[in-house]
Structure 1
Amino acid sequence: MPGFEIVTHVMAPPERVFDISLDVDVHSASMAGSSEEAVAGVTAGGLRLGDTVTWRARHFGIRWRMTSTISAYERPGYFVDEQVSGPFRRWYHAHRFRRDDHGGTVMSDIVEFAAPLGPLGRVAETLALRHYMPRLIRIRNRYIKQVAETAVAGG
């Protein structure tokens, strides 16, 4: 099963980065390029343990829907979102936050995923998803970093 880890340094406290990372509106704004929006479940504001959200987005020119749940949550250290229904055979995304020695946060995203359709899905993983998925997380994290650091600078 493919997986990857993205580490992002944010000059804001873990509590702020954690809360921003769970904000549906921030997520939607970070994924504007794929027209990602929450259409069911929690559709605005912060997510908590047990919450679900259904996302609608366009990737590879195809309209997708994915419902995920917050399956683990310990503020401000970590949370996990997992697909309940959607395009993947499996989607698991652990978000970890730890204070660094400079007043900021080390944010780690650990993602495991599997495409559906057996051998055809494994081809899609190799040819497209192994590159596409980390790129999406990096885009999202750049936006979270900007929001968190602007909020710190602004007050």
Structure 2
Amino acid sequence: MTRFEITTAIAAPPQRVFDVSLRIEVHTAGMAHSGEQAIGGVTSGQLRLGDTVTWQARHFGLRWRMTSRISAYEPPGHFVDEQVAGPFKRWHHAHHFEPDGNGGTIMRDVIDFAAPLGPLGTIAERLVLNRYMPRLIGIRNAEIKSTAEA
């Protein structure tokens, strides 16, 4: 299993960043390069506690689907999305939003994931996913930052 964290400074208050982070349209705009779409569950607007969404995207030339659920939701401090069906053995993404003391937000993503397929999945994590996943979250965070600061 792999764990990584990404911290992003955003010049907007925590409640705004929290809300922007839960908007389907912001997520799909940030993932446009992979053709990501919400195709099931909540497919537009803002996610809330207990909501599920099924995402479809193309990564590594293959079409993937992942259904995630908002399993924790405490505005404006944090929320968690977890895979309930999809390509990972485990996917747990905690989103934290803390005031920076200057009217902005420090957004911190903590992701725990594990690839399927036992030893082959471990090799995929080490060779590919440990670099690919942080880059993907960084692209998503750039879209959240741009939207929240607009």
Please give the range of the TM-score, normalised by the shorter of the 2 chains. Answer: over 0.9
Secondary structure of the residue that 1:67 maps to in structure 2?
strand
Aligned match of 2:107: 107
Distance 1:26 1:8 in 2: 16
Distance 2:44 2:3 in 1: 28
Distance 2:85 2:101 in 1: 39
Distance 1:28 1:92 in 2: 19
Instruction: Report 1:122-133 matches (<5 A).
Output: 122-133=122-133
Matched, 1:14 2:8: no
Runs (4 or more) in structure 1 with deviation over 2 Å come to none
Distance 2:101 2:40 in 1: 39
Deviations 1:86-140 (A, max 9, x none): 0000000000001111110000000000000000000000000000000001000
Distance 2:56 2:74 in 1: 27
Secondary structure of the residue that 2:148 maps to in structure 1?
helix
Secondary structure of the residue that 1:20 maps to in structure 2?
helix
Aligned match of 2:68: 68
Secondary structure of the residue that 2:56 maps to in structure 1?
strand
TM-score if structure 2 supplies the norm length? 0.99
C-alpha RMSD over aligned residues: 0.4
Is there any run of 5+ residues in structure 2 with no aligned partner, and where?
none
TM-score if structure 1 supplies the norm length? 0.96
Distance 1:131 1:96 in 2: 22
**Percent of matched pairs sharing the same residue:** 67
